[in-house]
Amino acid sequence: DIQMTQSPSSLSASVGDRVTFTCRASQSISNYLNWYQLKPGKAPKLLIYAASSLQSGVPSRFSGSGSGTDFTLSISSLQPEDFATYYCQQSYSTPRTFGQGTKVEIK
Amino acid sequence: EVQLVESGGGLVQPGGSLRLSCAASGFNFNTYEMNWVRQAPGKGLEWVSYISSRGGTIHYADSMKGRFTISRDNAKNSLYLQMNSLRAEDTAVYYCARELYGGIDIWGQGTVVTVSS
């Protein structure tokens, strides 16, 4: 199975900050990498698919990059509604494993 | 409106069974791959199972193999998850989820499964 490792597990930031976090796959997954935002009591929301494609309706402050084993999600200017937990997921093979998440908290 | 609505969750004793259902609307269900994903209390997201658009290809997470069965009825725009031999560690919110370009773009609101005596 492909293991997905996210770092950091949590970070504190302020509104307006640029934040970046990473996801590493245990083997090459090409660009089969997705990013989701999860808020308590709500269903996950797809932000980025295929490593760098912005899902329809997602603000352009979100961006993704990477290929192979190393990927990043960036938020160019953190907004109050962005405080949440972010998960990466590989769709290269089954099981379609998720990372353990990065929680973005208010500083 | 594109929508997925799960049902069938509840409280079940260890070793028991439950059948989750997911009703799809607002899109051509029979052209989409579907998944089940769960989130245990205080834990992260865990992929459970996948089924291709016509049901010919099915995959499971290792811990669910032999206990869970995914199926779909395209005529009824419905997805199912039969869960047998349930364990305490299966307690979670279960999401029905549509796959597009490898990503899960539409999620249901989730149904809660609690396995406890």
List pLDDT tens digits, range B71-113. Answer: 999 999 999 999 999 999 999 999 999 999 889 999 999 999 9
Q: How many CB atoms lie within 10 A of CB A73?
A: 26
**CB within 8 Å: A98 and B107:** no
| Tens digits of residue pLDDT in B29-73 | 999 999 999 999 999 999 999 999 999 999 999 999 999 999 999
For position B4, what pLDDT does the model report?
98
Portion 8-37 of B in contact with A at CB < 8 A:
35, 37
For position A107, what pLDDT does the model report?
84
To the nearest whole angstrom, how far is the Cα of A106 from the nearest Cα of chain B? Answer: 19
| Helix, strand or coil, per DSSP, at residue B38 | strand
For chain A, what percent of residues have pLDDT higher than 70?
Answer: 100
**CB within 8 Å: B45 and A87:** yes
For position B55, what pLDDT does the model report?
95
What mean pLDDT value characterizes chain B?
Answer: 97
Looking at B8-102, which runs of residues are DSSP E strands? 10-12, 18-25, 33-39, 45-51, 58-60, 68-73, 78-83, 92-100
Residue A89 has pLDDT above 90, yes or no: yes
For position A106, what pLDDT does the model report?
86
Q: Are B8 and B21 in contact (CB under 8 A)?
A: yes
Q: Which of A38, A50, A96 sits opposite B47 (nearest CB)?
A: A96
| Tens digits of residue pLDDT in A37-87 | 999 989 999 999 999 999 999 999 999 999 999 999 999 999 999 999 999
**CB within 8 Å: A87 and B104:** no
| CA–CA separation, A92 and B76 (whole Å) | 30
For position A8, what pLDDT does the model report?
96
For position B50, what pLDDT does the model report?
97
| CA–CA separation, A85 and A54 (whole Å) | 18
CA distances from B57 to A32, B33, B46 (A): 19, 10, 20
> Chain B residue with minimal CA distance to A9?
B44
A64–B contact, CB cutoff 8 A: no
> Chain A residue with minimal CA distance to B59?
A94
For position B14, what pLDDT does the model report?
97
Amino acid at B39: Q
